[in-house]
Amino acid sequence: MSPSGHEGELSVWQLLRLIGAYRSMIAGTVALSLGLALLLLVLVEPVFEARSLILVEPGNDNTTDEAIAAVGIANDSAVIDSQVKVLASRLLARQTIGRLALADDGELSGNGGIEAVIRSFAERLNVERDGGTNAISIAFRSREPDKAARIANELAAIYIEGQLLAKHESTRRGTDWLGAQVEEARARFETAERVLRDYRASSQPAYADAEAMRGIDIANLKRDHIAAMADAAARRSKLERVRRIIDGQPGIQAFEELGGSPVLQNLHALKNQTMRREAELSTDFGTRHPRRLDLRSQLTRIDLQIATEQRALVSRMESELDQAIARETTLRREIDGLKQQTLAQRRAQTRIAELERDMEMARRLFESYLGRFEAVAETEEMQRPDARLISEAVPPRYPAFPRPAYVFGSFTVAGLATVLLAIFLLEQQDRGFRTGEHLEAALDLPCLALMPVTTRSTGSRIAPHDHVQERPRSRAAETMRGLIASLELADRARRARAVLVTSALPGEGKSSLTLSLARVAANDGLRVLVVDADLRRPVLHEMLRREAAAGLQEILRGERRVGDVLLADDHSPLMLIPGCPREDQPARLLGRDGLGALIESAREDFDLILVDSAPMMAVADARLIARMVDVTLFVCRFDSTGKAIAVRCVDQLREAGANIAGAVLSRVDPERHGRFGAAEAGIHRRELAAYYAD
């Protein structure tokens, strides 16, 4: 419900006015919140928080030897986050407790032993990463500032020492392993060196000759061997050919084939001469001639000599062939022996080369392990942790809890939130009308008057009908005059004399409004008759401090005349027909033959007839009376009458055929009304005060 009376969103100015309307409630809630905050600060023991800051620096590992396990911190966000878990772990908590002897600390231990101490320590510890950086904050809370700082610094120191210790331990394991590898490589190298030395000593005689013959031209030996082989083959061929010639072709041709031996040449020449002489003698002498016989004998001797010489030649050739074969065999043996020695030398050299390679590999492996061992040993003292303390915790001067500014602020904000929520919930309820605009918008009726709450000069409350009588120039009295003017204008064709004043619920001020309106009109010279038509709870005579033995019901029943029950006001010229409750209350009395006839008869004697009826939500009397009057006034109480109820009652009046002149907002609190930002709130402005005699 908007304070301006219109449905929709509130403007900023209207919202401020709405808050101003609840300023007492807001101020009280804020004061209560501040009081509770102060009480908390007094009752709660302060807790101090000391904070140290370490910076994780990945990549501080000075050695890259693969024998050393990697224990450094990688430059990875997840790894940095894991260090936060390490700092908040039970292991570091236990180490810190042991280092600082906190096992018997009264603040931490209680009666639960070391596990309770660790749990309490973890509850008071807060480790978190500083945003997306590599900085990690270590905060510890304690009732003692010095203890909080000491624990935060000690935890950081233990963490950093643990980083360095892990590196030293990894390096130590690496050096131990490398030392063992160095000794093993040294043994391998010495063994390979000894094996090479022994093999050289054992294999030296096997190829000594080959070493000595390195200067011999093996190619010449091979050439000589080939020549010897060719010579032997040639001699063997020549010998075989000579043998075939001797066996098959003796004579001069055999001589020529045998290579021109001088002896054979002479013998063959002599044989040829002898054969010619025999041929010459054959013509002269017979076969038995002595000279021919002598020649034949010579030929026989010559053939014997030739055969002897041929055999001697074959023997020489065979001897020469044997010599060539022997020479070729000797050369072949020499070459084979040299080959065997060369092969032995090559095998020995190959083995020596293998042993030398093995020894070189063993030496290099030994030197490699030795170099790594020396490098790791040198860098062990140069190890640095992957984290360092960049901000040491100092004893805090002010407690972390409760912080006065935070506590006061939190309680104030909580109080404001609570009261604003309460205001919101209250505003969501149908609490009634706060401005004339709201009333007009909801009921579709003109708001004829805003009847203010009336008070004395002392500030005490006074009945509105008494107030307008005592102060005829007051704001309330002028409001009634304005209402009279509105009623006279409600029906221009006929002067509005009979007016019904009704409301939805009891206590909304319709009776006070009726008497106030009647007194102002009477004092202004009008003849005014007030009829108390509330047949069940008539109160008008009591409000005028008069006694009533009989009333409206007796008149309508014909038991009394009007003049018998008519009461005069002691303070104004108005006249009152009071009500007098009875157990039997027939609704027919309010019909045209009853109340209707009374109103019509009174029109001749009075200028204004005001009829006060029972509330509409209680009984249906107002709907019956509305048909007998000229106009109806519907009264709503300021910030009280529910919108739904008021709308329902107005609809009922319209259904009954009532001529509703408008609505009146009663018991308006000027201050609250002004805070709701109503357009008509100007009646409370200081510049209008001169027109009123409040």
pLDDT tens for each residue of 573-587: 999 999 877 656 556
pLDDT value at residue 327: 86
Q: What angle do CA 609, 615, 616 make, to 5 degrees?
A: 105
pLDDT value at residue 221: 73
Does this model's pTM top 0.85? My answer is no
Compute the distance between CA of residue 403 and CA of residue 410 in angstroms, rounded to an integer.
10
> What would the pLDDT profile of 381-409 be if each residue is shown by its tens digit?
667 788 899 999 999 988 888 888 888 88
DSSP at 455: B
342-381 burial, b at 16+ Cβ within 10 Å, e below that, comes to bebbeebeeeeeebeebbeebbebbeebbebbeebeebbe
Are residues 88 and 120 in contact, defined by beta-carbon separation less than 8 angstroms?
no
pLDDT value at residue 53: 94
Compute the distance between CA of residue 639 and CA of residue 646 in angstroms, rounded to an integer.
12
**Does the pLDDT of residue 463 top 70, yes or no?**
yes
Partner residues linked to 500 by β-bridges = 611, 632
Q: Which of 403, 15, 370, 418 is nearest to 178 (CA)?
A: 370
> What would the pLDDT profile of 339-358 be if each residue is shown by its tens digit?
777 777 788 888 888 988 99
Are residues 618 and 510 in contact, defined by beta-carbon separation less than 8 angstroms?
no
Question: Which residue segments constitute the domains of the chain, with CATH numbers given?
Answer: 430-684 (3.40.50.300)
* Residue 83 dihedral angles phi and psi, to the nearest 5°: -65, -30
Which range, 84-98, 246-260, 435-449, 589-603, has the best average confidence (pLDDT)? 84-98
Of the two residues 309 and 657, the one the predictor is more confident about is 657
Q: Which of 136, 137, 142 is nearest to 121 (CA)?
A: 142
How far is C-alpha 78 from the geometric centre of its chain's CA atoms?
Answer: 12
Are residues 278 and 299 in contact, defined by beta-carbon separation less than 8 angstroms?
yes
* Residue 503 dihedral angles phi and psi, to the nearest 5°: -150, 175
Compute the distance between CA of residue 7 and CA of residue 643 in angstroms, rounded to an integer.
12
Of the two residues 249 and 673, the one the predictor is more confident about is 673
Are residues 655 and 643 in contact, defined by beta-carbon separation less than 8 angstroms?
no
**Does the pLDDT of residue 67 top 70, yes or no?**
no
The type of residue at 574 is L
Strands 447-452 and 660-668: parallel
pLDDT value at residue 537: 87
- Report CA dihedral (474, 477, 478, 482) to the nearest 10 degrees: 170
Query: What is the average pLDDT across 527-553?
Result: 88
> What is the DSSP secondary-structure string of 401-414?
BS-HHHHHHHHHHH
Compute the distance between CA of residue 453 and CA of residue 440 in angstroms, rounded to an integer.
20
Compute the distance between CA of residue 505 and CA of residue 635 in angstroms, rounded to an integer.
9
> 467 burial class (0-12, 13-18, 19+ CB within 10 angstroms)?
buried
pLDDT value at residue 331: 81
In percent, the amount of the chain with pLDDT more than 70 equals: 82
Which residues, 6 or more positions from 187, have their beta carbon under 8 angstroms from its beta carbon?
A: none
Q: Which two tokens stand for residue 278?
A: 């025999």
pLDDT value at residue 171: 79
Compute the distance between CA of residue 392 and CA of residue 51 in angstroms, rounded to an integer.
8
